[in-house]
Amino acid sequence: MLRVDRRLLKNVDWPLLGAAFAIVLLGLVCLSSLGLGRGGSGLAWRQLMWVGVGAMALLAVVTFDYRSLVRAAPALYLLGVGLLVTVFVLGRTVSGARRWIHLGPLTFQPSELFKVIFILTLAWALTWRRAPQQTSRGTLGWIIALIAVPFALVVRQPDLGTALVLLPVLGAVLLGVGVRLRILGALAAAGVALMPLAWLALKPYQRDRLFVYLDPFRDPLGAAYNVIQAKIAIGSGQLLGKGISGATQSRLAFLPERHTDFIFAVFAETWGFVGCLVLILAYGVLIVRGFEIAVGTREARGRIIALGVTALFAAQTLINLGMVTGLLPVVGIPLPLMSYGGSSMVVSFMALGLLLSVRMRQFQ
C-alpha cells in the first residue's frame, strides 16, 4: 500500500490542486451538457472514470521521490521510444493518423505519456554529472540528440501538436538552467531556417490548415469548417452564455471534435465570457503556482521538473485556446484536464503529481 510521510503532507500545494480539480469539474459539466445532445451519451461518466484513474496515478507519482524518478529516466526514455515505435507496428490508423495502441476495449496514446518522460529525461541529462559547465555546447548537442528521435517518431504518426509542444518545454527548461539567450536565439534561427524542409514533410491536410489560418474562408466547408464553427459557438455565448439547453452549436453537433480539441468553444457557448474568465483564471492559478514552485525549489532536478511541467501546461493551454479562437493554426492538441480522453487526462494528473512531489520535498 502506498504511503506518504505525514511531514510531506504539510507541504501539499492546495491552491494548485484546487485549480486543477476546478478545471476538471468544469470539463465534466461541459461534457455532461453534450450528453443531452446528439452522440454525447456517456461522455461525462467515461471521463469521470479516467479522472479516477488519473487521481490514483497522481497519488502513485507523489509517493515516489522525484529524484528517484529522474535516476530512472534513461530506462523510461527507452520505454517511451519503444512505445512510439510500437505504434507503427501494432497501432491502428484513425482519421489518417496512427497514434494509438489498442489494448482490448481501451486505447492508449504513447505520445501523451512521452511528455512526462521527456521532462524527466531533461532533468537527468542536465544533472547526471556535477560538472560546472552543465550548459556547454556538448550538453546542448546531447539534449538535442535525445529529443530528435522521439520528435521525429511523433511527427511521423503524424501528431504535430504533441511534437510542437515539446519545443517550448525544452526552451523554458534551458532558459531556467541558465543557457544564454544568444544560444537560444541561434537555436531558434536554425529552426526557422529548417522550415522549408519542414513544409515538405507536412501532410496535405496539414498544409491546408496553414492556408486556412492565413485565409479562414478559403475552404469554409472543408479545412476551415472546424475553426469557423468554433468562432460561431464562442461568439454566440456573448456575456453570460446560452446555458446548457440553449447551446445549439454544441448540442446539435455542428461543431466537430466538440468533446476533445474544441471543448473550449463548447464551454464558451454555454457559459459565455464570464465563464471563460473563470476557466482562464483557474489555468492562470495552476500555471503561476507551478512557476512559484520552480522558483522556490533549491534542488536542480526539482527546479527543472517544475519548470518543464508548468511549461507543458502553459504551452498546451495557449496553443489550444489560440487554435480554437483562430489565433493559431489548427494542430490538434487537447486542452489539459478538460478535453475528453483517457491518455491525456491520466498523463496530466501524472504531471501534476510530479509538481506536487517537488513541492512536498523542496525543503528537504
State the pLDDT at residue 190. Answer: 81
C-alpha cell at 338: 478538460
Domain total for the chain?
Answer: 1
Structural domain for 111, as ranges: 25-361
Rounded CA-CA distance 337/352 in Å is 10
Flag residues of the chain having pLDDT under 70: 1-7, 35-41, 93-97, 129-138, 252-253, 363-364
Q: What is the pTM of this model?
A: 0.90
Instruction: Give me the residues paired with residue 93 across strands.
Output: 98
Q: What is the pLDDT of residue 98?
A: 72
Position 168: which residue type? P
Q: Would you state the pLDDT for residue 93?
A: 66
pLDDT at residue 132 in the model:
39
Which residues fall within 8 angstroms of residue 127, CB to CB, at 6 or more apart? 70, 134, 300, 301, 304
In a domain, 204, yes or no: yes
Mean model confidence pLDDT for the chain: 84
**Grid cell in block for residue 11:** 507541504
Question: Of 95, 64, 93, nearest to 206 (Cα)?
Answer: 95
The answer to whether residue 125 sits within a structural domain is yes
The pLDDT, as a whole number, for residue 12 is: 84
> What integer pLDDT is reported at residue 39 of this predicted model?
47
DSSP codes joined into one string, 315-338: HHHHHHHHHHTTSS-----PPTTT
Using CA atoms of 313, 318, 324, 328 in order, give the dihedral in degrees to the nearest 10. Answer: -130
pLDDT score, position 38: 47
Task: Please give the pLDDT value at position 5.
Answer: 62
In a domain, 56, yes or no: yes
Query: Angle at CA 26, nearest 5°, toward 22 and 29?
Result: 140
In a domain, 103, yes or no: yes
Q: Is 218 strand, coil or helix?
A: coil
How many Å apart are CA 89 and CA 98, to the nearest integer?
10
Ramachandran category for residue 253: left, alpha or beta (phi over 0 → left; psi -120 to 50 → alpha)? left
- The reply to whether 7 falls in a domain is no
**What pLDDT, on the 0 to 100 scale, is given for residue 214?**
79
Phi-psi bin for 122: left (phi > 0), alpha (psi -120 to 50), beta?
alpha
Q: Please give the angle made by the CA atoms of 101, 107 and 110, to the nearest 5 degrees.
A: 50
Say how many Å lie between the first and final Cα of the chain, rounded. Answer: 24
What are the tens digits of pLDDT across the range 56-105?
Answer: 999 999 998 899 999 999 999 999 999 988 888 877 766 666 777 877 77
Q: Which position has the grid cell 484536464?
A: 337
Helix (H) / strand (E) containing 92: strand 92-94
Q: Has residue 6 been placed in a domain?
A: no
Q: Are 65 and 359 in contact (CB under 8 A)?
A: no
Which ranges of 157-202 does DSSP label H, i.e. alpha helix? 160-176, 181-193, 195-201
Q: Is residue 19 part of a domain?
A: no
Distance, CA of 334 to chain centre: 7
pLDDT digits (tens, 9 = 90+) for 211-266: 778 777 777 777 778 888 888 888 888 888 888 777 777 776 677 778 888 899 99
In one letter, which amino acid is 34?
Answer: L
Answer yes or no: is 2 within a domain. Answer: no
Q: What's the Cα-to-Cα distance from 105 to each of 102, 108, 166, rounded to whole Å?
A: 7, 10, 29
Distances (CA, A) of 123 to 57, 69, 198, 244, 276: 21, 10, 28, 44, 34
